[in-house]
């Protein structure tokens, strides 16, 4: 029954897809805005008066009330106790992660432990850790072995309670593999704080913060309901937030300050982490977006995307050249029964088994009106695992002087600059999958990849 409901939702809220002949398969890159949210936002902004909330004027109070309402809506959505959690609004998930990295109390006795499967916005935290002398450790694997993770948290000779920060994604933005939320409690039992990157997970999965209690959770709202862009959140446990030490202050973050005496007092609540003026015209759209998606039901969204992902994976498995050899190679599906989301990374294979350069797939898919993503998706660790790149070769590449991407690929012995990512979301329908599968079959079946097509593209 729900399939008919989502078909009607597609026509009502996302009709611009079919009206424009679009096949949108990049939901992990960005969610799509429902028409009702955009028109509702315009009515609110043009029908009221809203000012900078850092004041007590009527316009400021109106914005302040909507800001407080947005914080409550985020906590409700994640079933988070307001006595335990605070909501900090940021420009995006990257901004939320940066807040933690720059203020986390790393020391020479602490560790930053990360999964190799991480977005670069998480990888970048290692620079903060290194600057303060903390050890940085990666746990390898597209499917992470829990024993290796626990060993990284409690290495020999580390000393009881050394602790630090564990940072990992609830769902890979590269493969769609979902990593266990039970690691949160396990890491905390080892004396670690936990930073959970939920940017790829939150759009189609229930995250219950009354069951799992990460110290810090980063989300980006345009990935969940498409509108507005430029707003994310750091949902932080208040006890963990109190351990952070901000390296600077700015407008909006202080309770009192002196220029001449050179002292300042940070605000005692979330405002201490919201630099400058928050995006007060867009934050009410978060409240509206959460009401919209909660009205549909995140459990139903999850079931819808899970069903479509199964259809996509089955369809990809069935793609074959005339001799029976596979037409695609899918990454992150080597463990039976493992949880996964609606993100699928793959490479197209020619009739001779060689990878079709993903830049060629970008060109060809765009010509067919298909929006997908190619590359390594700001997740180099997962790419290194997927393509089997040894550490020795990566280290050699760091010292080489190369003048082009193709030279770099030759040095690393890679046939392509990355993979093809197909990702599904709330607006997706079976016909989107059928369009993509038909495109791959018609364009690449029984064909041998050549460099000529790419050279023609690059010369345009």
Provide the annotated active-site residues: 378
**β partners of residue 248:** none
What is the DSSP pairing of strand 343-348 with strand 419-423?
antiparallel
Q: Give yes or no for a contact between 167 and 118, defined as CB atoms under 8 angstroms apart.
A: yes
DSSP string, 352-386: TSPBPPHHHHHHHHHHTTEE-EEE-TT-HHHHHHH
Alpha-carbon distance 421 to 373, whole Å? Answer: 5
Q: Are 291 and 73 in contact, with CB atoms under 8 Å apart? A: yes
Alpha-carbon distance 167 to 110, whole Å? 14
Residue 394's SS3 state is helix
Coarse DSSP helix, strand, coil percentages of the chain, rounded to the nearest 5 percent: 40, 15, 40
Can you tell me the distance from the alpha carbon of 141 to that of 181, in angstroms, rounded to the nearest whole number? Answer: 17
Contact 175, 332 (CB under 8 A): yes
Q: How far apart are CA 376 and CA 173, in angstroms?
A: 10
Helix (H) or strand (E) holding 25: none
Q: At a CB cut-off of 8 Å and minimum separation 6, what does 8 contact?
A: none
Where does residue 172 fall: left (phi above 0), alpha (psi -120 to 50 degrees), or beta otherwise? beta
| Whole-angstrom distance, CA of residue 361 vs CA of residue 418 | 11
Q: Using CA atoms, how far apart are residues 423 and 282, in angstroms rounded to an integer?
A: 26
Q: Are 88 and 270 in contact (CB under 8 A)?
A: yes
| 405: CB partners within 8 A, 6+ apart | 417
Count of CB atoms situated within 10 Å of the CB of 56: 8
Q: What is the distance between the alpha carbons of residues 420 and 436, in angstroms, rounded to a whole number?
A: 12
């Amino acid at each position: 029954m729900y399939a008919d409901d989502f078909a009607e939702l597609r026509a009502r809220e996302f009709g611009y897809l079919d009206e424009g002949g679009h096949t949108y398969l990049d939901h992990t890159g960005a969610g799509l805005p429902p028409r009702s949210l955009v028109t509702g936002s315009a009515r609110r902004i043009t029908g009221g008066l809203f000012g900078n909330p850092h004041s007590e004027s009527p316009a400021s109070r109106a914005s302040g009330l909507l800001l407080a309402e947005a914080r409550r809506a985020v906590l409700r959505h994640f079933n988070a106790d307001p006595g335990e959690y605070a909501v900090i609004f940021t420009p995006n998930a990257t901004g939320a992660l940066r807040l933690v990295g720059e203020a986390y109390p790393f020391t020479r006795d602490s560790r930053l432990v990360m999964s190799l499967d991480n977005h670069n916005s998480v990888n970048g935290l290692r620079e903060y850790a290194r600057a303060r002398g903390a050890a940085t450790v990666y746990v390898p694997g597209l499917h992470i072995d829990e024993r290796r993770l626990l060993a990284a948290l409690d290495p020999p000779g580390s000393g009881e309670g050394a602790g630090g920060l564990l940072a990992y994604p609830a769902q890979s933005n590269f493969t769609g593999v979902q990593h266990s939320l039970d690691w949160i409690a396990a890491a905390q039992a080892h004396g670690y704080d936990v930073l959970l990157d939920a940017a790829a997970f939150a759009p189609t999965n229930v995250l219950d913060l009354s069951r799992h209690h990460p110290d810090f959770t980063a989300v980006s709202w345009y990935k969940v309901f498409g509108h507005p862009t430029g707003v994310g959140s750091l949902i932080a446990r208040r006890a963990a937030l109190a351990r952070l030490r901000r390296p600077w202050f700015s407008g909006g973050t202080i309770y009192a300050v002196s220029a001449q005496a050179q002292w300042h007092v940070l605000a005692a609540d979330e405002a201490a982490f919201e630099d400058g003026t928050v995006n007060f015209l867009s934050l009410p759209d978060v409240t509206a977006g959460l009401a919209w998606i909660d009205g549909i039901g995140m459990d139903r969204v999850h079931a819808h995307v899970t069903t479509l992902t199964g259809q996509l994976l089955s369809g990809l498995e069935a793609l074959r050249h005339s001799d029976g050899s596979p037409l695609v190679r899918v990454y992150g599906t080597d463990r039976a029964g493992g949880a996964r989301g609606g993100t699928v990374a793959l490479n197209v294979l020619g009739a001779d088994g060689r990878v079709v350069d993903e830049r060629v797939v970008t060109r060809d898919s765009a010509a067919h009106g298909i929006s997908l993503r190619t590359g390594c998706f700001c997740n180099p660790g997962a790419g290194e695992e997927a393509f089997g790149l040894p550490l020795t070769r990566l280290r050699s590449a760091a010292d080489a002087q190369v003048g082009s991407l193709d030279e770099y690929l030759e040095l690393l012995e890679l046939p392509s600059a990355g993979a093809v990512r197909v990702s599904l979301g709330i607006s997706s329908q079976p016909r989107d999958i059928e369009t993509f599968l038909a495109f791959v079959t018609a364009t690449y079946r029984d064909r041998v990849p050549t460099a000529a097509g790419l050279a023609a593209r690059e010369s345009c």
